[in-house]
Amino acid sequence: MKIVLAGAGAFGQKHLDALKLIDGVEVVSLVGRELPATREVAGKHGVGHVTTDLGEALAQPGVDAAILCTPTQLHAAQALQCLDAGKHVQVEIPLADSIIGAEAVARRQRETGLVCMVGHTRRFNPSHQWLHRRIVAGELAIQQMDVQTYFFRRSNMNALGQPRSWTDHLLWHHAAHTVDLFAYQAGSPITAAHAVQGPPHPELGIAMDMSIQLKTANGAICTLSLSFNNDGPLGTFFRYICDHGTWIARYDELLDGKGNAIDVSQVAVSLNGIELQDREFVAAIRERREPNASVAQVLPCYRTLDRLEGTLREGG
């Protein structure tokens, strides 16, 4: 399977590392904003073709699919470009920065029948998978999720500490992880959503702090706190308060409410959520089926984000 990868930054490189571990997959073109930096990354990962033009990459002989790790503002338009070119596509989270863009991609996927998957990695992290399987089996039910998403980003820097060409967003990017995961784990649609935010950054122009409250049709609630002002510890911490126990998840680590570690090493073939995500994308294409985190499955998340954005416009 020949794949094009667009985006040579921190997350693009995580996908390049993951794709090397999947048999029968070759990244044949790397798309980046600046050719010298993109050539350097391509050289490290053995990618033979480099370009700044996604269309040129998609036109390479035998390309089956594309993975988009580009700035958020480009995701919807580039996903449409891939689908229009007849290529399966995985879009890193978020699918779009507006409901209009998200709905447009969902429509095009239905029209083409191609695989279109969104990088909602939390669905694939073994810690969350361990809990999901117990919930689906009827062993647990979520009463409340308490989530903290904390970073220190008072300037446009990526995960590698390098300058970014775009501005990240608490609502349409970081909140999307939890909004989708909450409904996925609760097994019920979100029926109530409200948000408040702090003052905008004078230079970045975005809110640096936000609080979100959610409720599903089956009664589960979620409180999500997000900040770009937090100077450590960094990352996202999930507390699952269930009817039969409490668990705390952070990426690939899972503890019970008493601080005992849960072994999640046997949940999947890897502890790397990005690798598991990419394996699902490749398998869905090969098996001609809908993937977990398909655009259709995650679209309700983006509708909820649109509702939350509405509450913020109204004075939140």
The predicted structure's pLDDT at residue 54: 98
Residue range 60-84: mean pLDDT, rounded: 97
The predicted structure's pLDDT at residue 168: 76
The predicted structure's pLDDT at residue 285: 98
Could you tell me if 239 and 133 lie in one domain? yes
Length of the chain: 316
> Which residue segment(s) compose the domain that 264 sits in?
122-271+301-313
DSSP 8-state symbol, 144: E
Residue range 215-244: mean pLDDT, rounded: 95
Higher-scoring residue by pLDDT: 269, 233: 269
Asked whether the predicted pLDDT for residue 156 surpasses 80, the reply is: no
Tens of pLDDT along 97-146? Answer: 999 999 999 999 999 999 999 999 999 999 999 999 999 999 999 999 99
Could you tell me if 157 and 203 lie in one domain? yes
Could you tell me if 141 and 246 lie in one domain? yes
Residue range 234-241: mean pLDDT, rounded: 95
* Residue type for position 115: V
Could you tell me if 51 and 81 lie in one domain? yes
For CA atoms 206, 155, 95, 198, give the dihedral sign. negative
The predicted structure's pLDDT at residue 155: 61
Confidence of residue 169 (pLDDT cuts 50, 70, 90): confident
Could you tell me if 13 and 105 lie in one domain? yes
The predicted structure's pLDDT at residue 160: 53
Confidence of residue 314 (pLDDT cuts 50, 70, 90): confident
Average predicted confidence (pLDDT) for the chain: 94
The predicted structure's pLDDT at residue 165: 55
DSSP 8-state symbol, 285: H
Could you tell me if 184 and 216 lie in one domain? yes
C-alpha to C-alpha distance for 200 and 83, rounded to whole angstroms: 36
Residue range 194-214: mean pLDDT, rounded: 90
Could you tell me if 99 and 235 lie in one domain? no
Residue range 237-247: mean pLDDT, rounded: 97
Residue range 202-218: mean pLDDT, rounded: 91
Identify the residue whose tokens are 């990459």: 57
Could you tell me if 89 and 137 lie in one domain? no
The predicted structure's pLDDT at residue 206: 82
The predicted structure's pLDDT at residue 313: 87
Could you tell me if 108 and 244 lie in one domain? no
Contacts of 156 (CB under 8 A, 6+ apart): 163, 164, 165, 166, 167, 168, 204
Could you tell me if 10 and 157 lie in one domain? no
The predicted structure's pLDDT at residue 207: 87
C-alpha to C-alpha distance for 175 and 200, rounded to whole angstroms: 17
Beta strand pairing call for 245-250 and 253-256? antiparallel
**CATH number of the domain enclosing 100:** 3.40.50.720
The predicted structure's pLDDT at residue 157: 58
Could you tell me if 261 and 132 lie in one domain? yes
Residue range 217-223: mean pLDDT, rounded: 98
Could you tell me if 194 and 258 lie in one domain? yes
The angle, 0 to 180 degrees and rounded to 10, between the axes of the packed helices 273-287 and 10-19 is: 60
Residue range 284-303: mean pLDDT, rounded: 98
Higher-scoring residue by pLDDT: 260, 252: 260
The predicted structure's pLDDT at residue 201: 85
Number of domains in the chain: 2
**CATH number of the domain enclosing 218:** 3.30.360.10
Asked whether the predicted pLDDT for residue 166 surpasses 70, the reply is: no
